[in-house]
Structure 1
């Protein structure tokens, strides 16, 4: 249990429902779709569009991107990176908005 009385899954769900985290996830999804479409439309095979979603979801996506080269691994790297970053963004956003409420007298 976390100090607020929620389980880890509940705390994670709470962080991912923050508006800042959702906006970030939508932006990452749009970048991923754009990169996949642009890569498939490029007949030369030299598209660098996949770099943008990887940079937007760094540093986690860089760690996962070193796994075997396949398009599903690219999608997995961007998805995992976006979820981890959105969780951190949600936690930070809520902490900044609500302040530190550890003092029961406050």
Structure 2
């Protein structure tokens, strides 16, 4: 799966260095900040702003929704989902460049 001389974290760092992966991470971070701001400033409990970052980082974030119902669970699910998806985007971008 990986080269014997190249450890896995090195592959991950190289995948996250691509422009496409960094743009995706920036968009996900902006969506998460927007959702948190909208949710905290909205006085009613009808805010569905948290759904947008979850959909942007699916499918990993949807799997992590089984975490306990707390605001931190949303942040953890979105952050881990964004990192996994950014790594896949970076690996695909590197493979297409070869």
| C-alpha RMSD of the superposition | 1.3
Any idea what the Cα deviations from partners look like across 1:43-96, whole Å, max 9, x if unmatched? 011100000000000000001112110000100000000000000000000100
Q: CA deviation at 1:4?
A: 7.6
Q: Given the two structures, how large is their TM-score scaled by the length of structure 1?
A: 0.89
Secondary structure class of the residue paired with 1:62: helix
In our comparison, the structure showing a higher alpha carbon Rg is: 1
TM-score (norm 2): 0.96
Regions of 4+ moved over 6 Å: none
Aligned length: 98
Structure richer in helix, relative to its length: 2
Give the structure 2 partner of residue 74 of structure 1: 74
Q: Comparing both chains, which one has the higher relative contact order based on Cα–Cα distances under 8 Å and sequence gaps of 6 or more? A: 2
- Give the gaps of 5 or more residues in structure 2: none
| 1:48 matches 2:48 | yes
**Correspondence 1:79-98 to 2 at 5 A:** 79-98=79-98
